[in-house]
Structure 1
Amino acid sequence: MKISIWDILTVVLLLTALVLLVVVMVIFIHPDSRINPFPFPSLPATIVIPTLTPTLLQMPPTWTPTPF
């Protein structure tokens, strides 16, 4: 049986497809892996800005209805 060039190209194509599938699955499972061509950007430093603290609403000293 003679092996033609088409048989060799078919095997190469199938192996390439298998390797590509494995690479895609590794990137899907571990997106922060080294083989990912588009890694996550690094997070910027957290800036702490002092803000006003909310105060509780207080009732007036006498909470009674005023007569009309």
Structure 2
Amino acid sequence: MVNLKSGATFSFPPALAQGLAGGSPVDLAEVEVTPSGNGLHWEKLDADFSVPALLAGVFGMAAWMAKVKMKAS
């Protein structure tokens, strides 16, 4: 769950996000906000995401997104 400065809250299932799928609850909880405030970093999972990209529905590279789309169909 991401709490934005505006007061809005955004959440997504980790299984949608490249690098977070299969992460343990402990590893998923160890997220850092980048100094700019626009990014999220999971050191143990070697995963980085832009908050604006997540809000736009981008959860990984094109190949990952194609797989996610196929599963949702």
**TM-score (normalised: structure 2):** 0.19
- Relative contact order (alpha carbons < 8 A, sep ≥ 6): 1 or 2 greater? 2
Rg: which structure is higher?
A: 1
Name whichever structure is richer in strand by fraction: 2
**TM-score (normalised: structure 1):** 0.20
